[in-house]
Amino acid sequence: MADMDADLVIVGAGLFGLTVAQQAVEHSGARVQIIDVRDHIGGNAYSYMDEETGAEIHKYGAHLFHTSNRKVWEYVNRFTEFTDYTHRVYTTHKGEVYPLPINLGTINQFFHAHYTPQQARDLIRQQAGELAGTDPGNLNDQGISLIGRPLYEAFIKNYTAKQWQTDPSQLPASIIKRLPVRFNYDNHYFKDTWEGLPKDGYTAWFERMIDDPHIQVSLKTDFFDDSQPWNRDALVGQVPVVYTGPVDRYFDYRLGELKWRTVDFKERRYDEDDHFGCPVMNFSDPDVPYTRAIEFKNFNPERYDRQNHERTVVWEEYSRFAGKGDEPYYPINTGDDRALYTQYKQLAAQQPKVVFGGRLGTYAYYDMHQVINSALDAWDKRIAPLVGHTKD
C-alpha cells in the first residue's frame, strides 16, 4: 500500500490534474501527489524547444490558447503572460492557397469574383440547391446544405474524409453541426475575447502552477502497475483520487472499449528560414495524404532573434483510428460510444472517493480553457468536500 502522506492523489499531470493540484494547495493546504505514466507534465499541451531551429515544438500537435471566460483568463494569467498571437489558417487546394475559415476573401478568390456580402449569401443559398434549409442525416449532405456544393467539395469533403478515413456520406451530420462562413474579410480563426501563446512556453507555465512543496510529482508511474505504491488497488477508497486517464481503462475495459481517433506526425526539416509563411497549412485535396502541416517557428515571431533562420522544422499531421497503445486524441462519439460511456459513467459514480475528469476521464473533446474551467468547477463542487480540511 502507498505511504498515505498525501491528502489527494491525482492521476494524470495534464491541465485538469495540474489545476486541481494548484487549487487544492491554495484553498486547503492539502498535500498532493501527482502521478503520470509519461515522462513529462502538461499532458497533450506539453512542449519543448527544438535546439536546431529555436522553435517551440508542441509534441502532441498545435495547442493555441483562447477563451472568452474571464474567470479562466484571469486564472491562467497568474502563471504566465501571453503573446499577442492571433491564429490564422490557410489551405492549399489545387495548387492555390486560400484563407480559412471560409470568408468573403475565400469565396471571391474561389469564384474569381467580387461578390458583396449579400451576393455571396445568395450564391451559397442557390448552390445548396434542394438541400438548403433541410436537416440532412449525413455529413456530406449537411455540408452541402450549409455552404453549397462547390465550396464544400473544395475545402471540406476530402479534408474530412482524411480526418475520419471514412466517406463523408457515411458519417453523421452532427460532426459538422455548423460550418463557419463569414461574409466579410475576417480570417481570424477564433472568435474569443482573449487569445495568445504563453510567452515562456507551455512547460514553464505548467511548472509554475505546481511550484509548491505541498505538491509532489512522480513521472513514468503507472496507476495500474501494482508493483509501485501509487496504484489503483492501494489507493481507491483510502484517499481521495482524481483520475484523468481513460475511463474504460480504469475499469479494465469490462464493458468494452471506447473508440478514439489518433494523430501521427511526420517531421520534415528544410534549409530555409520559413517554408509555409504561416503556422498551419491545411491540405484539402485527396492526393495529399496528410490533413495539415504545422511550422512551429511561425507561432512565435517575437522570438525572431533567438531562431535559426537557415533551418525550419515542419510536422505533417496524419489522422487515423486509434488502436491499443496509440495516444487517444478525439472521441469518435458514435451513438454506440455515447451509450457505452453512459454505462461507464454510472460505474464511475459508484467509485469511493474518486472523481473522473479531463477529456480521457469523461470521453469528451475539450479545448484547454474548457479543461481548466471544468477543473476549477470540479474542485469547488466535488473534490474540496472529499479533501475536507481547509486552510482558511
Residue pLDDT, tens place only, 275-284: 999 999 999 9
Shared-domain flag, residues 237 and 128: no
Catalytic residue among 98, 189, 195, 292: 292
Residue 183 neighbours by CB distance under 10 Å: 17
Q: Which segment of 101-105, 176-180, 259-263 scores lowest on mean pLDDT?
A: 176-180
Which residue has cell 453512459?
Answer: 342
* pLDDT confidence bin for 119, thresholds 50/70/90: very high
Q: Which segment of 134-138, 158-162, 212-216, 330-334 scores lowest on mean pLDDT?
A: 134-138
Catalytic residue among 121, 311, 367, 382: 367
At residue 391, the pLDDT reads 57
Structure letter (DSSP) for residue 370: H
Structural domain count of the chain:
2
What's the CATH number where 235 sits? Answer: 3.40.50.720
Q: Is 353 within a domain?
A: yes
Shared-domain flag, residues 161 and 107: yes
Indicate the residue among 143, 175, 207 that finishes a domain. Answer: 175
125 tagged catalytic: no
* pLDDT confidence bin for 4, thresholds 50/70/90: low
Q: Alpha-carbon distance 358 to 139, whole Å?
A: 28
* pLDDT confidence bin for 389, thresholds 50/70/90: low
At residue 3, the pLDDT reads 47
Please check the confidence at residue 75 and state whether its pLDDT lies above 90. Answer: yes
What would the mean pLDDT of 5-32 be, rounded to a whole number? 97
Four-residue CA torsion sign, 128, 285, 165, 265 = negative
Integer distance in angstroms from the first to the last C-alpha of the chain? 31
Catalytic residue among 182, 189, 316, 363: 182
202 tagged catalytic: no
Indicate the residue among 126, 141, 175 that finishes a domain. Answer: 175
What would the mean pLDDT of 250-269 be, rounded to a whole number? 97
At residue 1, the pLDDT reads 36
Q: Is 324 within a domain?
A: no
| Closest C-alpha among 389, 392, 376 to residue 242 | 376
Q: Which segment of 32-41, 285-294, 325-334, 351-360 scores lowest on mean pLDDT?
A: 325-334
Q: Alpha-carbon distance 297 to 274, whole Å?
A: 8
What's the CATH number where 141 sits? Answer: 1.10.3110
Catalytic residue among 317, 344, 359, 363: 317
Q: Alpha-carbon distance 151 to 284, whole Å?
A: 11
Shared-domain flag, residues 244 and 347: yes
292 tagged catalytic: yes
Please check the confidence at residue 18 and state whether its pLDDT lies above 80. Answer: yes
182 tagged catalytic: yes
Q: Is 340 within a domain?
A: yes
Shared-domain flag, residues 217 and 108: no
At residue 129, the pLDDT reads 83
Catalytic residue among 52, 264, 365, 377: 365
At residue 309, the pLDDT reads 97
Shared-domain flag, residues 252 and 363: yes
- Domain hosting 148: range is 102-175
Q: Is 248 within a domain?
A: yes
344 tagged catalytic: no
Catalytic residue among 178, 252, 287, 392: 178
At residue 217, the pLDDT reads 98
359 tagged catalytic: no
Q: Is 181 within a domain?
A: no
What would the mean pLDDT of 95-121 be, rounded to a whole number? 97
The shares of helix, strand and coil residues in the chain, as percent rounded to the nearest 5, are 35, 20, 45
Q: Is 267 within a domain?
A: no
Shared-domain flag, residues 159 and 119: yes
* pLDDT confidence bin for 390, thresholds 50/70/90: low
88 tagged catalytic: no
Residue 16 · residue 374 · CB < 8 Å: yes
Catalytic residue among 31, 232, 261, 359: 261
Establish how many alpha carbons lie within 13 A of residue 38's alpha carbon, considering only the half-sphere containing its beta carbon.
Answer: 16
Q: Is 147 within a domain?
A: yes
What would the mean pLDDT of 372-380 be, rounded to a whole number? 98
Please check the confidence at residue 294 and state whether its pLDDT lies above 60. Answer: yes
Residue 139 neighbours by CB distance under 10 Å: 25
Question: What percent of the chain stands above pLDDT 90?
Answer: 85
Please check the confidence at residue 287 and state whether its pLDDT lies above 80. Answer: yes
Q: Which segment of 3-7, 43-47, 327-331, 355-359 scores lowest on mean pLDDT?
A: 3-7
Please check the confidence at residue 187 and state whether its pLDDT lies above 60. Answer: yes
Q: Is 56 within a domain?
A: no
pTM, two decimal places: 0.93
Quick one: cell of 153?
Answer: 467539395
Shared-domain flag, residues 337 and 249: yes
Shared-domain flag, residues 205 and 170: no
At residue 39, the pLDDT reads 98
Return the SS3 of 212: coil
